[in-house]
Amino acid sequence: MTDIRTLVLDGQKVRVALFGPADASRNLLVFNGIGASLETVGPFAERFADTRIVTFDVPGVGGSPVPALPYRFTWLARLTARILDKLGIDQVDVFGVSWGGAAAQQFARDYPHRALSLTLAATSAGFVMVPGNLRVMLKMATPKRYSDPQHMLKIGPDIYGGQMRANPQLLREHAATLKSGSGRGYLYQLLAGAGWTSWLWLPQLRLPVLVMMGEDDPIVPLANGRILVNRLPNARLEVMDCGHLFILTDPAETAAKVEAFIQSTPVAEIA
């Protein structure tokens, strides 16, 4: 069951999707990776048994228009809180993958009373990180892979690693779900993370955190997961037998681990 709608918040249109039943016991807010539209979340969302998935196209991606000005993660956290208000959702478990992992950390910091738990997948603490392969990072400098499926098939094995190296069909299926955004939207996403880091304030996050990292990730090496866990007071690390996109290459196992983690976290009363 998928409900896709467009919300208007202070003049900004945002395309939002809710996957799963409205009476699910938990709501999981998903911050997607850079340039990725909400369609890419579908195969992952379908694996949850008793969790409703809430996600959206970041302005400038997929079906959400580019905002008038560049933004920072603090602005995106406020926008996300407004989305949840519009949907009538008070508290959520928070999930962020890659670029979205930074947005998820910022949301958990700015809205601690709304975040029950935090899952960080294939992400880092921002500029205080062990960098990925330089050749790979240069290939990610433009959003061409989202608008040109052949380009995605060409560079995907190198940039995503893991099962994407050996199984071209997985990459074709991923490319088929993409809804490309604009070059300016992609640039704004890059600018949102420029100079950003959570490293200084990670010890202030008291909520339970699950850090999931691919052991063959050319973009965000596994060492970044260990940095996150060492800085967070209530976190544990789960290493996935894959590369950067394990939520796509192994959605069933990833969803099972995330759902078991969030279901073990008690729901807190809002003060």
**Which residues are identified as catalytic?**
98
> Which residues does 14 contact at the CB level (< 8 Å), separation at least 6?
6, 7, 8, 56, 57, 59, 64, 79, 83
Between the CA atoms of 103, 107, 108 and 111, what dihedral angle is there, to the nearest 10 degrees? 180
What is the number of residues in the chain? 271
> Which residues does 231 contact at the CB level (< 8 Å), separation at least 6?
125, 199, 202, 203
C-alpha span between 88 and 15 (Å, rounded) = 16
**DSSP per-residue string spanning 126-160:** BTSS----HHHHHHTSSSHHHH-HHHHHHHHHHHH
Q: With beta carbons less than 8 A apart as the criterion, state whether 88 and 16 touch.
A: no
C-alpha span between 182 and 157 (Å, rounded) = 24
- What proportions of the chain, in percent to the nearest 5, are helix, strand and coil? 40, 20, 40
Q: With beta carbons less than 8 A apart as the criterion, state whether 234 and 206 touch.
A: yes
User: Would you put residue 11 in left (φ > 0), alpha (ψ -120 to 50) or beta?
Assistant: left
Q: With beta carbons less than 8 A apart as the criterion, state whether 238 and 146 touch.
A: no
